[in-house]
Chains A and B, each alone.
Chain A
Amino acid sequence: MNLKTRLFGEVFSFDSVKEVLGKANEEKSGDQLAKTAAESVTERIAAKTVLSNLLLADLRNHPVVPYEEDEVTRVIQDDMNEKIYAEIKNWTAAELREWILDDKIRGSDIKRISRGLSSEMIAAVTKLMSDLDLIYAAKKINITAHCNTTIGREGTLAMRLQPNHPTDDIDGIMPSVMEGFSYGNGDAVLGLNPVNDGVSNVENILKHFDEFKNKWEIPTQISVLAHISTQMKAVKNGAPIDMFFQSIAGSEKGNEAFGVDVELLTEARELALKEGTSAGPNVMYFETGQGSELSSDAHHSADQLTMEARCYGLAKRFEPFLVNTVVGFIGPEYLYDGKQMIRAGLEDHFMGKLSGISMGVDCCYTNHMKTDQNDVEKLAVLLANAGCNYFIGVPVGDDVMLNYQAAGYHDAQAVREVVGLRPIREFEEWLKKMGLMKNGRLTSKAGDPSIFLNSNGVK
């Protein structure tokens, strides 16, 4: 294993695989904060060069958090297919990159090899890819999953309808739900982030969502994104749940900060399969985002991209219906501006697909980042071209509870038309039945949330 190279005659040497991985990252404020970033652009490229020469076996044998110390590492390593790994362990990271990009290599080939990859290998190849590489390679890989409907089929783009409200007032939530559906959002999931994590509140919102879904016969999934233990209690009380949501991190310590571990997630999945309302078999929904490990001091001196790849390695065990990177949510100390946010979105999406999970992206930003809605729209168009399974949609891009901006309900249709995509098939049929969509275009009725009402209020 060679951790040294020359660039323009100057010698660059590194102490560990972890250091090479960190310094090979594209510029991110979070890596600078964690002091894992390259000190100069030249050092970054030297690290990429060293990384490109590492064998996949080197990457497997040097996980950024040791196997003995961390259950996330154990999940990733234990779940690898050893036969497939043996075929590729002597490939360099550069060879893996070129193999993925090769004209003759199809998505099904990549999905097979994926079973022999560890998260560190996936992170490494991502660091060697340009933005267009990430789009091109991701486009090859289709990952479908089924809960009540099938997400991820080629040619589709789904949306999570996110009708958040600053006080969880159901009277204020429902008009957001109506508006979202009237714009063809909500085929990935109707999912609310609650302010109040209490069990009865979560049950109440779930019941309203379930009622609305059944009354209008909407082929989709519902979720209230409380802590997983709260959702489990709600289900045990008889609340209708199609899948369980939880935020996860790429280390055991990071998951501790979220109040979860592998055992709890395993138990939740079994409960969802037994007591959930959906057809399945994919009944889990995870959210992640570069920097979350550093924010709870659980990054083990590793860079944020590698930690993010490990989230997907963990998620994969639970065969999720959705995994969503909330790419610009945690602020400028992790992703400083639009350029970093767009890069991270493309990286996470590719890594998710290469890990074999149904991947979506919340293209978003906070008000203290140097970016604006134009960057969100750009990232959405790029990701739609890369075959992203779904985005988050909120009214006019403004989430009035989480106080950040994401893609808007309107973006769903505009992106679908520009890129030539459709909603999830069953959902599009429903839109047709409701008179909201015809031949993939919005009808004059679309965008009128009051179609779900009569003069006395809710129909």
Chain B
Amino acid sequence: MINEKDLTEIVERVIEELEKEESREAVDQAVKREAKSNNDEIVDITDVDLKKQFLVDNPENREAFLKLKESTSARLGVGRAGPRYKTETLLRFRADHAAAMDAVFTDVSDQLIDDMNLFKVKTLCRDKDEYLKRPDLGKKFSDETLAEISNKCEKNPQVQIYAADGLSSTAVEANLKDIFPAIKQGLEGYNIKIGTPFFVQYGRVASMEPIAKCLNAKVCCVLIGERPGLATAESLSCYMAYDAEIGMPESKRNVISNIHADGTPAVEAGAHIADVIKAMLEQKTSGLDLDI
């Protein structure tokens, strides 16, 4: 049996230890705060998982609402400053919109095009503004450009693959290096031959039509940046068609969209795309008629 004196000593020792522990924590925190202020480090607001954030002051049922919030990416439970947004909410919205706008209004870097041994051509659009205003010009090329494509590319390929900026250069930058080798590997596994890849600036989906005709490609496939949302600016789409014709209906094209790290990852999408292309070559058709 332990006597009362011993017990008191033990309790006092434990309390002492705990106090030390607490003060050690406090010191650690103070050190961290100091280090942070020394580095002038402000947290990256885009790192915050919005689904887990709840900014309402004195809510009635925080946990119950957070549980519901797991089921949506909508910006909920944000609280308010008067009838306006809290600063954090406002800045996060602006940051996400900034990423989306930059994806649209910047260009794919020459570095990426060089790294992937591509050559670059333009549609009839002179600049980004014209590209956005004139969807009709984003699917056409000058005769000189078509001659250049024809000179630099292998003719009559089974599959012609190329990339275009579309509405998100960021999507091309984020995915092209992963998706292109994945498609190539998939097709090589099926003994399907790919033509010479290249890059189209200011390109719309239907730019595949004159390209397919110019090179006499059986299947034509464009990897193109999607219109960015606030959730991601990195989403890429792959549009494919068999025997593409100028002015063909949309229903003759197949698309695999939502290719990005949080959607279908590029490597996985590449394998899927190879399967669709194989089906097109076997069934000699595409779009709604394709059985996959």
Contacts and interface: CB of A to CB of B under 8 A. Distances in A.
Contact of B227 (A165, A366, A446): A366
A448 B59 contact: yes
A405 interface: yes
Interface in B78-92: 78-80, 82-85, 89
Contacts of B167: 368
B135 interface: yes
Nearest to A174: B68
B72 A444 contact: no
A459 B57 CA distance: 20
B46 to A, nearest CB: 14
Nearest to B96: A398
A403 B75 CA distance: 13
A336 interface: yes
B59 A398 contact: no
A270 interface: no
Interface in B157-206: 167
A173 B72 CA distance: 7
B64 A373 contact: no
A183 B94 CA distance: 21
A176 B74 contact: yes
Secondary structure of the A contact surface, majority rule? mixed
Interface stretch (A276-284, A302-310, A410-418): A410-418
A175 B76 contact: yes
A331 B76 CA distance: 26
Interface string B69-112: 10111111111101111000100011011001101100000000
Interface stretch (A49-57, A256-264, A450-458): A450-458
Interface string B100-142: 1101100000000000000000000000000011111000000
Contacts of B101: 367, 372
Interface string A162-185: 011110010111111011000100
A33 B136 contact: yes
A414 B82 CA distance: 9
Which among A164, A398, A403 has the greatest number of chain B C-beta atoms within 10 A?
Answer: A398
Given A405-B230, A410-B85, A442-B83, A450 B65 contact: yes
A32 B97 CA distance: 27
A126 B94 CA distance: 34
Interface residues of A, number: 52
B104 A450 contact: no
Interface string B227-238: 111110000000
B75 A368 contact: no
B230 A410 contact: no
Contacts of B78: 395-396
Interface string A398-409: 101001010010
B56 interface: yes
Size class of the B contact interface (CB-based, 8 Å): 35 or more
B84 A453 contact: no
Contacts of B59: 448, 450
Q: Identify which of B83, B97, B231 gathers the most chain A CB atoms within 10 Å of its CB.
A: B83
Contacts of A405: 97, 230
A175 B71 contact: yes
A320 B47 CA distance: 45
A333 interface: yes
Contacts of B152: none
B71 A396 contact: no
Given A333-B132, A453-B65, A455-B64, A169 B71 contact: yes
Interface of B: prevailing SS: loop
Contacts of B89: 396
B53 to A, nearest CB: 12
A268 B193 CA distance: 54
A332 B133 CA distance: 6
B9 interface: no
A183 B68 CA distance: 18
Contacts of A444: 57-58
A288 interface: no
A33 B133 contact: yes
Contacts of B58: 444, 448
Q: Which of B74, B82, B96 has the most CB of A within 10 A?
A: B74
Contact of B104 (A367, A397, A417, A456): A367
B76 A179 contact: yes
A449 interface: yes
A447 interface: yes
A91 B47 CA distance: 63
A198 B23 CA distance: 62
B41 to A, nearest CB: 26
Interface in A275-316: none
B133 A171 contact: no
Interface of A: 29, 32-33, 163-166, 169, 171-176, 178-179, 183, 331-333, 336, 366-368, 372-373, 394-398, 400, 403, 405, 408, 410, 413-414, 417, 442, 444, 446-451, 453-457
26 contacts: A33-B133, A33-B134, A173-B72, A175-B68, A332-B133, A333-B132, A333-B134, A333-B135, A336-B133, A367-B104, A373-B93, A395-B75, A396-B85, A396-B93, A398-B230, A400-B229, A400-B230, A403-B229, A403-B230, A410-B84, A414-B83, A414-B84, A442-B83, A447-B80, A448-B59, A448-B60
Given A333-B132, A395-B74, A403-B229, 7 more contacts: A172-B74, A174-B68, A175-B71, A395-B78, A448-B60, A450-B62, A454-B64
Closest 7 CB pairs of A and B: A172-B72, A172-B71, A396-B75, A403-B229, A450-B61, A413-B83, A367-B100
